[in-house]
Amino acid sequence: QKEVEQNSGPLSVPEGAIASLNCTYSDRGSQSFFWYRQYSGKSPELIMFIYSNGDKEDGRFTAQLNKASQYVSLLIRDSQPSDSATYLCAVRDSSYKLIFGSGTRLLVRP
Amino acid sequence: DGGITQSPKYLFRKEGQNVTLSCEQNLNHDAMYWYRQDPGQGLRLIYYSQIVNDFQKGDIAEGYSVSREKKESFPLTVTSAQKNPTAFYLCASSDRDRGYNEQFFGPGTRLTVL
């Protein structure tokens, strides 16, 4: 069974620090990788996606992909209290389905 | 405004009743999806549809049914056969021209069985 694993947290960081969120996946055939942010009681919001090995930066966010290690991460620079949320990692398989991890809860302390 | 709407926001159901959750999108996306989320869990795929009049079962389709008569609409029926239906239900859509890659979510329906 295809799996996506995330540490449930909470990951607690002080305001202004770098938050590092990690995700591993089991299916080597996975093609695309996504990070969603979900505030409590709300629906997930797409933050970033990455297809190729390496880093992809978008503002304060950087996604990192290592297909050989089956590992994807999200870095949030200059973390703000408004970044406090659950971050869901999702992996797309060859059938266009997304497989989600259970999420990591991030808490940014003022 | 382009987007995905779901209704109702909250829904209460008595045991043994079927209920239908609405999902509409005006993004002109080809594919639509239904997910279920339980507290502290990720999203699990119930059904998905890539074209009108066609849909496929996801990982947890038992006790659910869908239809896709129009491109913009993908209603989900939670039947009495679903043993534990209390959950947060999320509808999403994606664009074929972007390889179905990015899925965008509606605001969700929170279903509670009394």
Q: Mean per-residue pLDDT for A65-74? A: 95
* pLDDT tens readout for residues B78-99: 998 888 999 999 999 999 887 7
Which pLDDT does position B1 carry in this prediction?
58
Flag if A100 and B104 touch (Cβ within 8 Å). no
The Cα B53–Cα B91 span in angstroms is 17
Output b/e per residue, B54-65; b: 16+ Cβ within 10 A: ebeebeebeebb
Q: Whose CA is closest to B76, among B57, B101, B99?
A: B57
Which pLDDT does position B91 carry in this prediction?
98
Shortest alpha-carbon distance between residue B82 and chain A (Å) = 22
Which pLDDT does position A94 carry in this prediction?
75
The Cα A55–Cα A33 span in angstroms is 12
Which pLDDT does position B16 carry in this prediction?
87
Which pLDDT does position A95 carry in this prediction?
74
- Checking if the pLDDT of B100 tops 80, the result is no
Alpha carbon A42 to its chain centroid, in Å, reads 17
Distances (CA, A) of A102 to A4, A89, B20: 8, 8, 26
Flag if A100 and B42 touch (Cβ within 8 Å). yes
Considering only the beta carbons, identify the residue of A45, A90, A102 that sits closest to B40: A102
* pLDDT tens readout for residues B32-70: 999 999 988 889 999 999 999 999 999 999 999 999 999
Which pLDDT does position B102 carry in this prediction?
87
Contact criterion met (CB below 8 Å) for A4 and A98: no
Give the dihedral of Cα atoms A44, A25, B102, A83; nearest 10 deg. 40
Flag if B40 and A8 touch (Cβ within 8 Å). yes
Q: Which long-range contacts (CB under 8 A, 24 or more apart) does B38-41 make?
A: B38/B87, B38/B88, B40/A8, B40/A102, B41/A102
Contact criterion met (CB below 8 Å) for A34 and A98: yes
A91 lies within 8 A of chain B by CB = no
Confidence of residue A10 (pLDDT cuts 50, 70, 90): very high
The Cα B46–Cα B34 span in angstroms is 5
Element (H, E) at B82: none
Shortest alpha-carbon distance between residue B40 and chain A (Å) = 7
Which pLDDT does position B40 carry in this prediction?
82
Flag if A97 and B40 touch (Cβ within 8 Å). no
Distances (CA, A) of B64 to B7, B11, B12, B36: 17, 16, 16, 11
Which pLDDT does position B27 carry in this prediction?
94
- Checking if the pLDDT of B2 tops 70, the result is no
Which pLDDT does position A15 carry in this prediction?
97
Contact criterion met (CB below 8 Å) for B22 and B87: no
* pLDDT tens readout for residues A20-61: 999 999 988 888 999 999 999 999 999 999 999 999 999 999
Shortest alpha-carbon distance between residue B75 and chain A (Å) = 18
Flag if B102 and A42 touch (Cβ within 8 Å). no
